Homo-oligomer: A and B are copies of this chain.
Amino acid sequence: MGKTITEVAKATGFSITTVKLVVNNKAKQYRISEKTQIKIKDYVKEHGIMINQVARSLKLNKTNTLGLVIPRLTNRFFSSLAQLLEQLCCDNGYQLITVCSGDSPEREEEVSKNLIARGVDGLFIVPSSKEQQLLSIKYARNKPIVFLDRNFEIEGQSTVISDNYAGFLQLSKAILKKSTSDIYLISGDNNLPSIKHRLQGFVDAHKDLKKTLVHNWIISVPHNQANDGFEGMKALHKELKQLPEAIVFSSLPILEGALHYLKLHYGVIPSQLIIGTFDDHNMLDFLPNSTYSVKQDTKTIVENCCSIMLSLLKNIHTKPANYVVKPKLIHRN
């Protein structure tokens, strides 16, 4: 399956132009004779034809591919993002290439360069640091970039992020209204703007409701991973010697790790603990606890990303757009 267009031309004895006209259904338009059409179509029916996209890309200086750089696929938010974006890109004639940076700036630089060298027509990037975001802009040159999920406040760039502040403001208020103010926060990667905004939402919820933050209200852990959550929970537990009324987690992996600690320590997850977390997952159903989760609107995020990219692809000088997508608070129990 899959002769090249040139091979078909050689085999049938017609020129490349004629073959192309026939296979692109422009035969009528250019009045190619019936005989010729039939001969070519028969050959194609028997042997198949497959346009070599590499050669096409070289000639047109356009690959019809787009790159997506995310921290990791095992994070549910990013995997849904990748899946939806792939589908949407495909619907618009583009093949998405997804790569993981592991949140390491070096790796992000490497994979981004790689994607550009491979000739992607544009890039979606979840930047791991301000420096990397700037470097990407430099490397991509005149290729369109849309920054996703995080924006290190660089002027003139297109960005699509969730409203992290509003999400945690709403979540924290909901919990504060249910409970006293005995509420702690375990948070990873606090230098990320998205996390900073979440923290601010948590703090402002207290202010708005005229509640005071508990002493040592935040446990900071280095990253957004399960083992960080485990250590954070351990630290909090060691300090308090007991469980508070409520704990809020800056992300799902942190929550996973923290609950693993509790399970190890208590044998079960203490069900009276009120739990808040950024990001949602079906498996929160598994908990007996009252849980509040901030579900990001992945569909809208992806649609915005894609529409920005398509305008940028049409005209690189399109004015940059900055979307902030509202998440949704989900309550269980």
Contact = CB atoms under 8 A, between A and B. Distances in A.
A113 B80 CA distance: 24
B116 A2 contact: yes
Contacts of A113: 50
Interface in A53-84: 53-55, 57-58, 63, 65, 72-74, 76, 79-80, 82-83
Contacts of A35: none
A319 interface: no
Interface string A250-273: 000000110110010001110100
A300 B86 CA distance: 27
Contacts of A260: 282, 285
A118 B53 contact: yes
Contacts of A119: 52-54
A32 interface: no
Copies of the polypeptide in the assembly? 2
Q: Which range contains the number of A residues in contact with the other chain? A: 35 or more
Given A79-B79, A286-B284, A141 B1 contact: yes
A87 interface: yes
Contacts of A214: none
A114 interface: yes
A325 interface: no
Contacts of A95: 97, 99, 114, 118
Contacts of A54: 54, 57-58, 63, 118-119
Interface of A: 1-2, 50-55, 57-58, 63, 65, 72-74, 76, 79-80, 82-83, 86-87, 90, 95-100, 111, 113-114, 116-119, 138-139, 141, 226, 256-257, 259-260, 263, 267-269, 271, 281-288, 332-333
12 contacts: A50-B116, A53-B119, A73-B80, A74-B80, A87-B100, A95-B118, A97-B97, A98-B98, A259-B285, A260-B285, A268-B288, A269-B285
Given A2-B117, A2-B141, A51-B117, 19 more contacts: A52-B58, A54-B54, A54-B118, A54-B119, A65-B118, A73-B86, A74-B79, A74-B80, A74-B83, A76-B76, A95-B97, A97-B97, A256-B283, A257-B282, A263-B332, A268-B288, A269-B286, A283-B283, A286-B286
